[in-house]
Amino acid sequence: MFELPSGAEIQSIIASLSASVGFFIPEIYLSVLFMLLIVVDLVAKGRKNNLLAVTTLLGLAGSIFFIYQQHFLPAKELFFGMYVLDEFGIFFKYFFVLAGMLAVIITMADEQFESEVKSMGEYYALIIAMVIGMIMMASSADLMMIFLSMELVSFSAFILTGYFKRDPRSSEAALKYLVYGAVSSGLMVYGFSLIYGLTGQTNLINISSELSQHGYDPLLMILATLLILAGFGYKIGAVPFHFWAPDVYEGAPTPITAYLSVASKAAGFALLMRFFYIAVPHGGPSYEDILGINWVSLLILLSISSMIYGNVVALWQKNVKRLLAYSSIAHAGYLLLGIIVMDAFGTQSTLFYLLSYFLMNFGAFYVVILIANKTGSENLEDYRGLGKKMPLAGAALTVFLISLVGLPPTIGFIGKLMIFSALLAKGSLYIWLSLIGIMTSVISLYYYMLIPLNMYLRESPQSEEKNMNPGMVAQIIMAVLMFLTLYFGLFFQPLSDFAKYSSAMFGLRLY
Amino acid sequence: MLSLIVFLPIIAGLVILAVPSSQKQIIRIVSLLAALAQGVLAVLIWRGYDPSLPGITAGPGGSPLGSFQFVEKIPWISLQLGGFGSLNIEYFLGVDGISVTMVILTALVSAIGVLSSWTIQKQVKGYFILYNLLATAMMGCFVALDFFLFYVFWELMLLPMYFLIGIWGGPNREYAAIKFFLYTLFGSVFMLLVMIGLYFSVIDPVTGNHTFSLVAMANQANYIKGAILGPDNVMWRYVAFSVLFVGFAIKVPMFPFHTWLPDAHVEAPTPISVILAGVLLKLGTYGMMRINFPLFPEVFHASLYVIGIFGAINIIYGAFCALAQQDLKKMVAYSSISHMGYVLLGLAAGNSEGMVGALYQMFNHGTITAMLFLLVGVIYDRAHTRQIDKFGGLASYMPVYAAFVTVAWFASLGLPGLSGFISEALVFVGAFSSVTTRYIAMVSVLGIVFGAAYLLWSLQRMFLGQRKPDAAYDLVVGDDGHEHIHFHDWKGKIDLDGRELVMLVPLVVITIFLGIYPMPVLGMLTTSINKLVQVLSPLAMR
């Protein structure tokens, strides 16, 4: 039987909660925005004007101000260790809000919504819900909180994926996403329960100290990490938890695809880093593994298989969104490399790589939408001759793809450079991993170049002159993204410094 | 000065971007002006270059910049890396005897390439933007002294080249373009890993930081013991050397990595073939001399024999393949492979004579092959075929063309009095005087014989004798009672026209002049080569 807390205890709980609220303002603000959007939708009566989109955009932009304020607060655990405010979390707050803004901008450009959807009411509200969920994923410090925030993201994502109700591909994608999501979160929760059984704790830091004080059964530990990895691996889209990715990416509305491929992956990585760096012991003297296998070896396995599988299977794709889906699987593999090295440099390079992936992947999807608006197709064959008809779009897409390959002078090159530097800074330990990474990126060149190949080297079968101008605003957005991809490829210092600043978790500089 | 010569073309490219694509003539003229300005700068650099300063590396006690000239050094990026210190990248340009030779060659060949591009009619704007990007990247590679900067320029070449072959190329261009791209990228990604490894192994003696500076890397005293490519880590140093060597050898191209070259050449439009053979192939051997060998001198010494054997294979195999070709351009492409073999042989000799010969051969091969490809382009423009047996007796109908072809062909086979002879002779002098390569050189001499065979044979089949029944042209009796040659749908002048003469005459003059009096080039590069040989010598390693 629970005893009712005494009046003094309730007082102290309330005091503690209200003390934490001050550190929680961006999340509160976004929740208010979420509700506001529902009200605005009622006022606008689902009419397809841009009122909702603009409100969302401005609302998200406003949250940046509140996030910025948090730089001046000390790193701190909130709400009885459920939640945390630290540089690492702030980095991802910016990341998800900016990604949300780009998703809204891309949605405004996508003409498919005109024909497929009657009302945009819930759409923007759900995007906000997803942003909140991801922010909370990146800042959770407790197993319960991790699970709750992950589910918040997943449920919003399921609905958004199936938002084109009349498109069977979209519905199929949503169902697949749901089924795989349910299975993997089930596995993950089972892993959490094993951890809880081992330690009696749900807070990440407490788990860590409990494990190092009392030791643990290595077999049980590896089983728990494996199960938890199923959940995280699903979010980041790493092999062998990737099966949903191609269908979902192909079927979902393209802005959602772009958002999932960048932000959902980043959220998964944030969790992965926080959980494995903090909760599960590694390296120290109390550390035990079984048959030389520990979670680092599991991550290495995931990373290698993602890089090879993603890049090789992409070679045969005929649909550009599907091709980018496999490429995103491969990029999950590259990102894992930065985590495997397990030091501050590795974390920094992973965060930097996420930033670079943000720019180039959003850019690529944006151009894919603009092209689909004009040609009505995402098939490689229909890209023939587009380089001449849409010169800026062609050039921009080429830059983004080159960046995805990792060639200079683009930001993608710097991302790869930093990841491989982090690997090689460990001496000869991980040379073979970097070799696999490098070899697979050569393979990736082939399929990425299929797109410019079709755009520039092949002539379009029908030569009628249609108006292919995507409009002034779209041109500017494209040009800005392209410019940033190139600019940060040459002058990457600010981003890299920011990534370094953000690699502190719980106020601790790791390692 | 060097920044200007590097970025002039890209500035021209930006100007072209603003010109409407219908103004083809303006676009061409802007490119030509940029190329000419580059040429003027190259001449200024040549005049201002002091041949008594060696360059290559900073010796003990000397200036930290080494004795490089026209140096520009600005900190570019200085990153704080978690738990590691900092990552310092510099914008560091400079020339020594090796690079100044290549800078002049690049300026010359780019300018001729622009002239040769005059006949490009398809998407002129896009073409010249890419062309100028390529020109910047090539020049940048030759003057960059920071490995990171070098790598950026090196990779920057790939994309324009891919499109230039892929859009403006022949019927099989898609295959050739992606093959070129994949081959070279395969080589260069490993270079990226070696670059990172070197960064972690080298300390700049002045700042005490890790550095990408090639000048610091070329001094073995700057390597940290115990680092991944440190002096005691023998295995990884061998691996790194081999990986770099393969990366550069793909560009040369060295057997067995050569198969992209004939495809690329056959499909590429004439100006791009000129650039490819004239400059890009040299980047492979330049990379060996600038990076591969001086950074790993002990491995270089251990592998002299292997490099020499590959050089000999290139010479003989290339010549045999050339002998078997029906397509004139393919024949010239294989002759390129054969002639780059001499460069490898000269490098393998490891002594001053061989190295000087190798570098001089790089220069001469640049000018001579540019000429060969231009001449192939001339006949292809007119006849729309390059099959050797579709011609015959051309000498009597196109005498000027025949004369130029004869000079170029003889220069290519190494006739005394023409520049190719001197460099090949130097290579062989070097190779014979080195114990390692003596026997390899003896075998390689056969290459000269086969070289003479395919060149003379093609000359005979195309230019001497009578018109063949299935020839690519007709003979018509003109008003003056003489027989004239007539190409289908060719409106221009039958023999060389003015633009073609403007391209070819300077090259012929250079070839003849440097064959008689090679000192302007040799004088420029010998000090640096001597220093390079000294850096590479086993004595200097301790």
Are A16 and A80 in contact by the 8 Å Cβ rule? The answer is: yes
**How far off is chain B from A346, nearest CA to CA, in Å?**
8
pLDDT class of A282 with cuts at 50, 70, 90:
low
d(CA A72, CA A92): 16
**Tens-place pLDDT, residues A192-241:** 999 898 888 888 888 888 887 777 777 888 888 889 998 899 988 888 88
The dihedral formed by the CA atoms of A56, A58, A64 and A67, expressed in degrees to the nearest 10: -60
Are B316 and B342 in contact by the 8 Å Cβ rule? The answer is: no
**How far off is chain A from B219, nearest CA to CA, in Å?**
21
Q: What is the pLDDT of residue A485?
A: 92
State whether B79 and A497 contact (CB < 8 Å): yes
Q: What is the pLDDT of residue B495?
A: 79
Number of domains forming the structure of chain B: 1
The tokens for A476 are: 């500017």
Are A322 and A380 in contact by the 8 Å Cβ rule? The answer is: no
Cβ contacts of A428 on chain B, cutoff 8 Å = 228, 233, 236
d(CA A237, CA A232): 8
Q: What is the pLDDT of residue B64?
A: 60
Is B221 an 8 Å CB contact of chain A?
no
**Tens-place pLDDT, residues A402-434:** 999 988 889 999 999 889 988 888 877 788 888
Task: Show the DSSP H helices in B352-413 as ranges.
Answer: 352-383, 394-397, 399-413
**Tens-place pLDDT, residues B345-383:** 999 988 888 899 999 999 999 999 999 999 998 888 888
Task: Report whether pLDDT(B62) > 70.
Answer: no
Among A416-420, A492-496, B110-114, the range scoring the smallest mean pLDDT is A492-496
Nearest chain B alpha carbon to A427: B228
Is A392 an 8 Å CB contact of chain B?
no
The amino acid at residue A47 is: R
Bond before A5 cis per omega within 30 degrees? no
pLDDT class of B227 with cuts at 50, 70, 90:
confident
What is the pLDDT averaged over residues A332-354?
88
pLDDT class of A285 with cuts at 50, 70, 90:
very low
Is B186 an 8 Å CB contact of chain A?
yes
d(CA A164, CA A162): 6
Test the B interface: residue of A456, A460, A482, A488 with most B CBs within 10 Å: A456
State whether A503 and B200 contact (CB < 8 Å): no
Are B174 and B161 in contact by the 8 Å Cβ rule? The answer is: no
C-alpha separations of B247 from B81, B154, B180, B251, B359 in Å: 28, 11, 13, 7, 19
**Residues in contact with A39: Cβ distance below 8 Å, sequence separation at least 6, in sequence order:** none
pLDDT class of A511 with cuts at 50, 70, 90:
very low
State whether A424 and B196 contact (CB < 8 Å): yes
What interhelical angle do B2-18 and B124-143 show, nearest 10?
170
d(CA A22, CA A30): 14
Whole-number mean pLDDT of chain B?
86
Is B123 an 8 Å CB contact of chain A?
yes
Beta bridge partners, B495, equal none
State whether A438 and B189 contact (CB < 8 Å): yes
d(CA A242, CA A253): 19
d(CA B500, CA B497): 5
Radius of gyration, alpha carbons of chain B: 23
DSSP string, B419-475: HHHHHHHHHHHHHHHSTTTHHHHHHHHHHHHHHHHHHHHHHHHHHSS---TT-SSEE
Q: What is the pLDDT of residue A456?
A: 84
pLDDT class of B154 with cuts at 50, 70, 90:
very high
Nearest chain A alpha carbon to B122: A388
**Tens-place pLDDT, residues B497-532:** 888 888 889 999 999 999 889 888 888 888 888 888
Cβ contacts of B177 on chain A, cutoff 8 Å = 457
DSSP B85: E
Identity of the residue in A343, A456, A500 whose CB atom sits nearest the CB atom of B166: A456
Beta carbons within 10 angstroms of residue A373's beta carbon: 18
The tokens for A472 are: 């002034």
Closest Cα partner for A425 from A302, A307, A342, A305?
A342
Cβ pairs bridging A and B (under 8 Å): 101
C-alpha separations of B265 from B168, B181, B327, B343 in Å: 12, 13, 11, 20
Beta carbons within 10 angstroms of residue A183's beta carbon: 14
Task: Report whether pLDDT(A132) > 90.
Answer: yes
Task: Report whether pLDDT(A47) > 70.
Answer: no
Please give the helix or strand (H or E) that residue A307 lies within, else none.
helix A295-314
State whether A438 and B87 contact (CB < 8 Å): no
Nearest chain B alpha carbon to A428: B228
Give residue A346's region: left, alpha or beta (phi > 0; psi -120 to 50). alpha
Among A172-176, A426-430, B39-43, the range scoring the smallest mean pLDDT is A426-430
State whether B158 and A407 contact (CB < 8 Å): yes
Q: What is the pLDDT of residue B509?
A: 92
Task: Show the DSSP H helices in A162-276 as ranges.
Answer: 168-199, 204-214, 218-236, 244-251, 254-259, 265-274
User: With a CB-CB cutoff of 8 Å, which residues 149-168 of chain B face chain A?
Assistant: 151-152, 155-156, 158-159, 162-163, 166-167
**Residues in contact with B229: Cβ distance below 8 Å, sequence separation at least 6, in sequence order:** B194, B197, B198, B200, B201, B223, B236, B237, B240
Q: What is the pLDDT of residue A148?
A: 92
Nearest chain A alpha carbon to B190: A438
- The interface predicted TM-score of the complex, written ipTM, equals 0.88
3-state helix, strand, coil in chain A (%, to 5): 75, 5, 20
**How far off is chain B from A461, nearest CA to CA, in Å?**
16
Are B465 and B393 in contact by the 8 Å Cβ rule? The answer is: yes
Test the A interface: residue of B189, B210, B242, B246 with most A CBs within 10 Å: B189
d(CA A103, CA A255): 5
Task: Report whether pLDDT(A48) > 80.
Answer: no
Is A428 an 8 Å CB contact of chain B?
yes
Q: What is the pLDDT of residue A355?
A: 92
Q: What is the pLDDT of residue B493?
A: 76
**How far off is chain A from B6, nearest CA to CA, in Å?**
16
Among A18-22, A99-103, A450-454, B164-168, the range scoring the smallest mean pLDDT is A18-22
The dihedral formed by the CA atoms of A474, A479, A481 and A486, expressed in degrees to the nearest 10: 170
Nearest chain B alpha carbon to A492: B77
Q: What is the pLDDT of residue B109?
A: 92
Q: What is the pLDDT of residue A96?
A: 93
What is the pLDDT averaged over residues A468-488?
86
d(CA A422, CA A340): 10
Task: Report whether pLDDT(B333) > 60.
Answer: yes
Are B403 and B463 in contact by the 8 Å Cβ rule? The answer is: no
Q: What is the pLDDT of residue A458?
A: 81
Residue B334 has phi, psi (to 5 degrees) of -65, -35
Is A327 an 8 Å CB contact of chain B?
no
State whether A457 and B174 contact (CB < 8 Å): yes
Q: What is the pLDDT of residue B542?
A: 44
User: With a CB-CB cutoff of 8 Å, which residues 333-352 of chain A face chain B?
Assistant: 343-345, 347-348
Q: State the residue range of the domain holding B516.
A: 2-541
Are A462 and A375 in contact by the 8 Å Cβ rule? The answer is: no
State whether A408 and B152 contact (CB < 8 Å): yes
Is B85 an 8 Å CB contact of chain A?
no
d(CA A78, CA A89): 13
Q: What is the pLDDT of residue A49?
A: 62
Among A382-396, B271-285, B366-380, the range scoring the smallest mean pLDDT is A382-396
Tokens 């040769």 locate to: B116
| Position with higher pLDDT, A75 vs B315 | B315
Task: Report whether pLDDT(A346) > 50.
Answer: yes
pLDDT class of A70 with cuts at 50, 70, 90:
confident
Task: Report whether pLDDT(B399) > 90.
Answer: no
Task: Report whether pLDDT(A510) > 60.
Answer: no
**Tens-place pLDDT, residues A445-461:** 889 988 888 888 887 77
Beta bridge partners, A508, equal A505
pLDDT class of B536 with cuts at 50, 70, 90:
confident
Residue B387 has phi, psi (to 5 degrees) of -65, 125
d(CA B401, CA B393): 12
Among A252-266, B466-480, B499-513, the range scoring the smallest mean pLDDT is B466-480
Are A170 and A253 in contact by the 8 Å Cβ rule? The answer is: yes
Among B158-172, B186-200, B465-479, B487-501, the range scoring the smallest mean pLDDT is B465-479
